[in-house]
Amino acid sequence: LFREAFGTPAMRAVFDDHELIRKYVIVEVALAKAQARCGVIPEAAAQEIAQRCNADTLDFDLLRHETEIVGYPILPLVHQISKQAGESGGFVHWGATTQDIMDTAVVLQIRDAFELIEQEIKTLRATLAGLALRYRNTPMAGRTHLQQALPVTFGYKAAIWLDMFDRHQERLNQARPRILVGEFAGAAGTLASLGDKGLDVQQALMEELGLGVPVSTWHVARDGFAEAVNLLALMTGSLG
């Protein structure tokens, strides 16, 4: 009844369960490629993982069943994609911890969502600019305390709305470097499982995914996600 009122097919597709799992696999494959670049796993293993690991051919019923048992989806996912990878399956998820994969996948979803939102803001700003110009001299009643007050123009009213969304575009530009940061730090955030290659792999992984490199582990630091939600709240308030 309400999904078209509060969302779009394009945005729902970004946050669909199947798309989230596809993002998990993208991160796992990127991790293998990054580790091969850094000499942590064989290049041939990374190539086999990239070629054979496929979210579309997973057994989703089994994945759901095992997730209900374990409480999170990465262990069941790794079981399946390790089998997909054949002889290279032992190199899947090397040195990673569950939250590395889950958090980075959500960041990829947010990046996709921001791209959709930015296109809508661009369209809206063009519409409002057109209204402001077209009706710059069209008088209407201003309102104060819900009552008719001094005259204004409708063009000026539209320009006020435009000004808000100019600022929202600026906020989105400023927020991206803070929010679109991947997470890879291993168990307890120490990178210890990769020896002296940890930071190199972290850098290479973020290059593979096109994400920012974290200054520190953010397993428990959720301000980036909170900022994304609050940015949407500001935009929604302006739309209201």
Q: What per-residue confidence (pLDDT) applies to 93?
A: 98
How far is 165 from 203, CA to CA, in rounded Å?
A: 34
The DSSP-derived string for 107-153 is HHHHHHHHHHHHHHHHHHHHHHHHHHHHTTT-EEEEEETTEEEEEEE
Do 106 and 14 form a contact (C-beta atoms < 8 A)?
no
Closest CA to 45 of 90, 95, 88: 88
Do 25 and 77 form a contact (C-beta atoms < 8 A)?
yes
Closest CA to 214 of 199, 192, 229, 234: 199
How far is 3 from 138, CA to CA, in rounded Å?
A: 37
Q: Is residue 135 scored above 90 in pLDDT? A: yes
How far is 123 from 130, CA to CA, in rounded Å?
A: 11
Q: What per-residue confidence (pLDDT) applies to 3?
A: 82
Do 159 and 132 form a contact (C-beta atoms < 8 A)?
yes
Q: What per-residue confidence (pLDDT) applies to 6?
A: 85
Do 185 and 100 form a contact (C-beta atoms < 8 A)?
yes
Confidence of residue 1 (pLDDT cuts 50, 70, 90): confident
Closest CA to 88 of 27, 46, 35, 138: 46
Confidence of residue 70 (pLDDT cuts 50, 70, 90): very high
Task: Decide: helix, strand or coil at residue 27.
Answer: helix
Each residue of 2-61: pLDDT tens digit? 888 888 999 999 999 999 999 999 999 999 999 999 999 999 999 999 999 999 999 999
Output the CA angle 165-224-174, nearest 5 degrees.
Answer: 40
Phi, psi values for residue 120, rounded to 5°: -70, -40
The DSSP-derived string for 172-217 is HHHHHHHHSB-----GGG--GGGGGGHHHHHHHHHHHHT-BPPSS-
Q: What per-residue confidence (pLDDT) applies to 100?
A: 98
Q: What per-residue confidence (pLDDT) applies to 169?
A: 98
Residue 16 is encoded by which pair of tokens? 């669909």
Each residue of 162-201: pLDDT tens digit? 999 999 999 999 999 999 999 999 999 999 999 999 999 9
